[in-house]
Amino acid sequence: MTDSQLIWERPEPTERRRPSPLSRERIVRAAIDLADADGLDAVSLRKVAAALDAGPMRLYRYVDTKDELLTLMVDAAYAEVPAPAGATWDAVLRSIATGIRSVALRHEWFAELLGGRPHLGPATLAHGEASLTALRSTGLDDLGTVTGALAALNVYVIGAVRKEVAERRAQRASGLDQRQWQHATAPYLLRMFATGAYPAMEEWVHDAPHLQADEVFELGLTYLVEGIRSSLRA
Amino acid sequence: MTDSQLIWERPEPTERRRPSPLSRERIVRAAIDLADADGLDAVSLRKVAAALDAGPMRLYRYVDTKDELLTLMVDAAYAEVPAPAGATWDAVLRSIATGIRSVALRHEWFAELLGGRPHLGPATLAHGEASLTALRSTGLDDLGTVTGALAALNVYVIGAVRKEVAERRAQRASGLDQRQWQHATAPYLLRMFATGAYPAMEEWVHDAPHLQADEVFELGLTYLVEGIRSSLRA
DNA sequence: GCTCCTCTCGATACAGTGTATTGATTTATA
DNA sequence: TATAAATCAATACACTGTATCGAGAGGAGC
C-alpha cells in the first residue's frame, strides 16, 4: 500500500502522544460519569476511552470485556451505599433498603445492573458484612431467618428501585411528569373504557389515590417488615 | 453506476417475489419466537423481518419504532397470564403473583420488559380488570388499600422474577448451575475471607441455608401478604 | 552505544444494530 | 388507459463490541 507513494507525498507518521495514565479506577470513574450523565446506553468502550484520551483497544488491558467494566461499576456504587445501622432489626432492614435506594437514585444505572448473580467485589462484600453484623447486633441471629429476610428484601428493593428509576427516566425522556403523562393517555383510556370492557379499571382510575413511587417504596417496605415480624412471632 | 455496464452484462432485476402477508400479530409472534429462543438481544428488526421473509424496512409500516414492537410483545405476554382467582384476598394476591411469574418463566424476556411506566395494551388492561374484580369479590373493596397492595405486590414480583430469570440465564450462559457456580467462586471467596475483613460473611457462607429462587419468591410473597394482613387489622 | 525482544498501543476490520432517505414498482383511482 | 398513491427494497449513516495485526517504545544483553 504505502509503497505506492513516494516519500515526498507520504505523510509523516502521526505523532504518538505520551499516553495518558490509566487505571481501572480512572476507567470506572469515567464510565460512571458517562452513565450518570447520559444513561447506561451511553457507556461504550469508545466513549469511555475517548473521555480518557485513549484509544478504545487500550481498555482491554484493564478489563477483558465490557461486562467486566459494568461489574466494576456496580462495586463502585456499592462503595457509596451508606453503612446500615439501627437499634432494632427492622430499623436495620429499613436502612439497608433506603441506603441502596439512595444510591440508585443518584446513579440510575445502578438499578439496571442489580439483580443477576450476586456480585462479589470487595465493596459489595463489605456491604454484606456490614448488613449482617448490624442485623446480628440487634439480636436477630437465626441465620435462616436472616437469610430469608435479606433475600426477600433484596429482591423487593431491586424491583421497587427499578420501577422508580424507570419512571424518572421516562419523565425526562418525554418531558412529561406522571400527571401530565396520565393526562396525555387519558383520551385513549376513555375510548377503551367506552367499550364497557373495563368497568373496574374505569372506577379505579377515577377514584383511586395516585401513589408516588417513593410512597409505594415505603409502603411495600412496611408490608415486608411487618410480614417478617409476624413470621418471627410464629 | 449502472450505466457503466451495458445491457449485455447488466443482470436482470431481481424478481420481486410476491410479498409475504404481514400483520402486527405475525410480527409480534415472530419476535416472541426469537426472544424465547435466543433472548431479547436476538430480537432485531432485521432478524424479525428475515423470519417473516420480508425486508427490514417493511416492518415500519406496522410499527413506528422497535420500542413499539417490544410494547406489543409485553401485551401479548400479558394475554398469557392466567386470570387471577381465589376465594380470599390473599389467595387472589398470590394468584396474581404466581400468574405473572409463570409467564415470565415461559418468556424470560418478559421480566426484562416489565417495570417502566404501566403498559396500557388491551390484554394488560384486561389483566388489571380481572385482578381488581377478583380482589373486590373477596370483600376487599377499600380502593386505597387495594391500590397500595397491588402496587407493592407488582414491584415485588418484578424484582423477584427478574432475579430468578437472571439466575437461569446465567446458568445457561455459563453452563454452571448455582451450586457449581458457588464452587467455582469458592477459591476467590476463601482468599477474600482470609484477609479477615469479612468474618460475618464467612460464617454466613458456611452455615446459612442456600435458598433457591423459587423459595425466595414464596417467602417474600408470604411476608408481603402477612404484612398487608397486619395493616388491615390496624 | 547498539541490537534484539517483549510489551503495549493504535489502526483497521468485521459483523452487527436502529432507522432516514431514496427511487423503483406495484396497486388503486379517475 | 393514464395518472396518482401506496408500498417496498436498497442504500446509507453513525454507532456498537471486540479480533487481529503492524508499528513503536522500553528494557536487556553485549
Burial zone of A116 (CB within 10 Å; 0-12 exposed, 13-18 middle, 19+ buried) = middle
Rounded mean pLDDT of A195-205? 96
Question: Which of the nucleotides in strand D have any atom less than 7 Å away from a protein CB atom?
Answer: 7-11, 15-21, 23-25
What pLDDT, on the 0 to 100 scale, is given for residue B117? 79
The pLDDT of residue A219 is above 90:
yes
pLDDT class of A4 with cuts at 50, 70, 90: very low
Write the DSSP string, chain B: -GGGS-TTTSPPPPP-PPPPP--HHHHHHHHHHHHHHH-GGG--HHHHHHHTTS-GGGGGGT-SSHHHHHHHHHHHHHTTSPPP--SSHHHHHHHHHHHHHHHHHHSHHHHHHTTSSPP--HHHHHHHHHHHHHHHHTT---HHHHHHHHHHHHHHHHHHHHHHHHHHHHHHHHS--HHHHHHHHHHHHHHHHHTTS-HHHHHHHHHS----HHHHHHHHHHHHHHHHHHHHH-
* Residue in chain A lying closest to B231 (CA): A223
User: Is pLDDT at A214 greater than 60 in this prediction?
Assistant: yes
Q: How many Å apart are CA A155 and CA A163, to the nearest integer?
A: 13
Choose the mutation target among A204, A205, A212 for the interface with B, i.e. most B CBs under 10 Å: A204
Contacts of A163 in chain B (CB under 8 A): 115-116, 154-155, 158
A58 Cβ contacts chain C strand, under 7 Å: yes
From the list B133, B152, B199, the residue facing A220 with the nearest CB is B152
Of the candidates A120, A136, A147, which has its C-beta nearest B211's C-beta?
A147
Q: How far is the CA of A48 from the C1' of D22 (A)?
A: 25
CA proximity to B159, closest of A166, A37, A129: A166
Weakest-pLDDT range from A1-5, B54-58, B100-104, B114-118: A1-5
The grid coordinates of residue B227 equal 404484612
pLDDT of the residue at B2: 39
pLDDT in tens, B109-142: 999 999 877 889 999 999 999 999 999 999 998 9
Q: What is the C-alpha to C-alpha distance for residues B126 and B128, in angstroms, rounded to an integer?
A: 5
Q: How far is B127 from chain A (nearest CA, A)?
A: 10
- For residues B44-59, give the mean pLDDT: 93
Note the pLDDT of residue A175.
77
- State the pLDDT at residue B225: 98
A77: which 3 cell numbers? 456504587
User: Does residue A94 surpass a pLDDT of 80?
Assistant: yes
Cα B181 to Cα A65, B170, B187: the distances in Å are 19, 10, 11
Residues B144-157 have pLDDT tens digits of 999 999 999 999 99
The answer, yes or no, to whether residue A147 has pLDDT greater than 70, is: yes
pLDDT band at residue B3, thresholds of 50, 70 and 90? very low
CA A170, A171, A177, A178 torsion: positive or negative? Answer: positive
What's the pLDDT score for residue B104?
97
* Per-residue flag: A191 CB under 7 A of strand C: no
pLDDT at residue A14 in the model: 54
Taking an 8 Å cut-off on Cβ atoms, the answer to whether A208 and B136 are in contact is no
Q: Among B65, B163, B174, B217, pick the best mutation site for testing chain A contact (most A Cβ within 10 A).
A: B163
Would you tell me how many other CB atoms lie within 10 Å of the CB of residue A149?
Answer: 26
Are B220 and A192 in contact (CB < 8 Å)? no
Looking at per-residue pLDDT, the higher value among B122 and B184 belongs to: B122
Lowest mean pLDDT among A139-143, B217-221, B226-230: A139-143
What b/e sequence results for A165-179 when a residue is b if at least 16 CB atoms lie within 10 Å of its CB, and e otherwise? Answer: bbbebeeeeeebebe
Burial of B144 (0-12, 13-18, 19+ CB in 10 A): exposed
**Mean pLDDT across the stretch A140-166?**
94
Chain A residues close to B124, C-beta within 8 Å:
none
Closest partner CB to B219 (pick from A117, A152, A230): A152
Give the pLDDT score at B4. Answer: 47
Residues 6+ apart with CB under 8 A from A217: A97, A101, A160, A161, A164, B155
Indicate whether A25 pLDDT > 70: yes
Q: How far is CA B197 from CA A137, A234, B193, B201, in A?
A: 17, 35, 7, 9
- pLDDT for residue A187 is more than 70: yes
Joined grid coordinates for residue A46: 469508545
Given a cut of 60, whether residue B7 has pLDDT beyond it is no
Q: When comparing pLDDT for B49 and B177, which is higher? A: B49
pLDDT tens readout for residues A105-140: 999 999 999 987 788 999 999 999 999 999 999 999
Q: Does B160 touch chain A if contact means CB atoms closer than 8 Å? A: yes
Spanning CA of A38 to C1' of D25, the rounded length in angstroms is 37
pLDDT at residue B175 is higher than 90: no
Say yes or no: Cβ of A13 under 7 A from any atom of strand D: yes
Q: Tens digit of pLDDT for each residue in A102-111?
A: 999 999 999 9
Spell out which residues of chain B touch residue A222, defining contact as CB-CB under 8 Å. 227, 231
pLDDT band, residue B107 (cuts 50/70/90): very high
B163 and chain A in contact, CB less than 8 A = yes
